[in-house]
Amino acid sequence: MVMAGTCDIDSFRVLRVLRKRFEQEMHYGYNMAINMSIGFVFLGNGAYTFNRSDKAIAALLCALYPVFPTSPGDNRHHLQALRHFYVMAIETRLLQARDIDTGSFVNIVAEVRVQDETTGEIKTINKQTPDIVHGRILQINVNGHQEYHDVCHTVNREIGADKNQKMEDANGSTG
């Protein structure tokens, strides 16, 4: 899960060796776990990764429950539907710009303020869209001659936050 969405070839090689080494003595659950791991490494061709919110971690716990089935019909410990809960933990890392009039994707240069997830360091980088952004986006500044100048700030809010809380925040009431 640490390498989710990185498309790291070394991680892929390790997982491929594990799958090949235990191919003869492996039961369905091991095979499923290794194949899910390979899928996580190449999540959306590197355009997605796992969110670190409490809800995302809970969804991953459900999807990766430690008792994997011994056969495709084994639902004693692991319901097959729970395996797909990882989708609720995914967040995008792909930065794209879209023309509001035509709806088509356009190439622009944007200045992006990003916080590194491991060190916490905040840095500003120039990105040409579409591109993958590593780290947490804090601000996007678009300032080109063909584009309207705009600055977008991200909001530090959990995914799927309660709508009532959003309305209370907008009205200025607490409580």
pLDDT tens for each residue of 62-120: 888 767 777 777 777 767 788 889 999 998 888 888 888 898 988 888 899 988 877 88
Which one of 92, 112, 138 terminates a domain? 92
DSSP 8-class letter at 52: -
With residue 163 as reference, give the H or E element that holds it.
helix 163-171
The tokens describing 122, both together, are 């905040």
28 and 88 in a single domain? The answer is yes
Query: Please, are residues 15 and 31 in contact by the beta-carbon 8 Å criterion?
Result: no
Tell me the residue type at 7.
C
Cα 70 from chain centre:
29
Q: Which residue has the higher pLDDT, 120 or 166?
A: 120
Q: Which residue has the higher pLDDT, 49 or 151?
A: 49
The pLDDT of residue 34 is above 70 = yes
pLDDT for 67: 78
16 and 32 in a single domain? The answer is yes
Of 152, 75, 72, 68, which is closest to residue 110 (Cα–Cα)? 152
In a domain? residue 2: no
Give phi and psi for 55, each to the nearest 5: -65, -40
Domain of 54, in residue numbers: 9-92
The tokens describing 105, both together, are 């994707």
| C-beta neighbour count of 171 within 10 angstroms | 8
Q: Where are the alpha helices (DSSP H) in 7-160?
A: 9-21, 28-41, 54-63
Domain count, the chain: 2
Which one of 74, 92, 110 terminates a domain? 92
The pLDDT of residue 162 is above 90 = no
pTM over 0.75: no
Of 3, 10, 9, 90, which is closest to residue 41 (Cα–Cα)? 3
